[in-house]
Chains A and B, each alone.
Chain A
Amino acid sequence: MKKIISIIMVVGLIAAIGVPAVSADSFNGGTATITYKEPDTYCVLIPETIDMTFDNYHFQALDMNLVEGDEVFVTIGGLIDEGYFPLTHENGVDTAKKKIYYDYSSVSSEKRELFPPYCVGYFTDGDTVSKTGFMMINDNESHFKAGNYTGTAEFTVELREKV
């Protein structure tokens, strides 16, 4: 008797597994389009501090995985006297200022016109080094007390989507 019950259960189980959820007659087939958009990811390196020796400084990125056409801009804030960067002597008293010079030599003039003000770094997809840079230059009449000068800046990092 047990043997018969076991056989009936096995046959029933096989029958249950074998029945498709959608019968062949009602299945029309077709394709599904799955769309997935990988979002932009980026990570920019900014200098810890600013000193007088910044010469042709180009920003670097640990990651710059952007949608084609998207761009990342880095601008510098905290400037005084229309484009000068303030620095403080290591004695904590004396101050100096250096003019920021923007190196846009590797981008077209049309592109430069679209840059935000005080743009010191410009990246497109895959760039590990910014296409633009900056340096600190002395005015002819500038004369500062000898020693080390440093200052801190606020860098603004912004991704702009392709228009």
Chain B
Amino acid sequence: MICLLAKCGNDAPAGSLPPDGNAVSWQGEQSITKPMVNNKPAIAIPGIKEIVFTAGDRKQKVNFYNPKENDCYFQMNLYAEDKLVWKSGNVSPCNGYYDIELNRVFQSGTLQGYLLIKCYKQDGAELNSAKVKFKITIV
């Protein structure tokens, strides 16, 4: 009976399985491979189609962030009708903003806006920047 049960189980008991010598001691997740295009380092820029603000309030909800794939700081500058209404400090990858406070309030309506993202290496060297255009709807 014991022999029969043994044959029905795994071919080899766990105790006799050899460990994979290629596996390494786990130290937590390694950094994500940095984005490259045509073998040149690249910066991930999140697109924005529209943001909605509350009329008459300086405090607003947004989703502004520096993607985890990046290896640079973001300095974000929000413009409405070409006027600066908010700016960030140096934002590391994986960080961003859900709540911001504008330097003015808006009345209901629609505005043209853009987020100017200035990118810098950690040593301060300036990289290419991006201007993400979108519509601002104020309700």
Contact = CB atoms under 8 A, between A and B. Distances in A.
Interface residues of B, number: 28
Contacts of A157: 45, 47, 130-133
B44 interface: yes
Contacts, number: 92
A48 B43 contact: yes
Given A43-B45, A59-B37, A48 B127 contact: yes
Interface in B35-54: 35, 37-38, 40-47, 49-50
Nearest to B116: A154
A159 B44 contact: no
Given A39-B49, A152-B126, A48 B42 contact: yes
Contacts of A153: 128-129
B134 interface: yes
Interface of B: 35, 37-38, 40-47, 49-50, 67, 69, 72, 114, 116, 119, 126-134
Interface of A: 39-50, 57-60, 62, 72, 77, 152-159
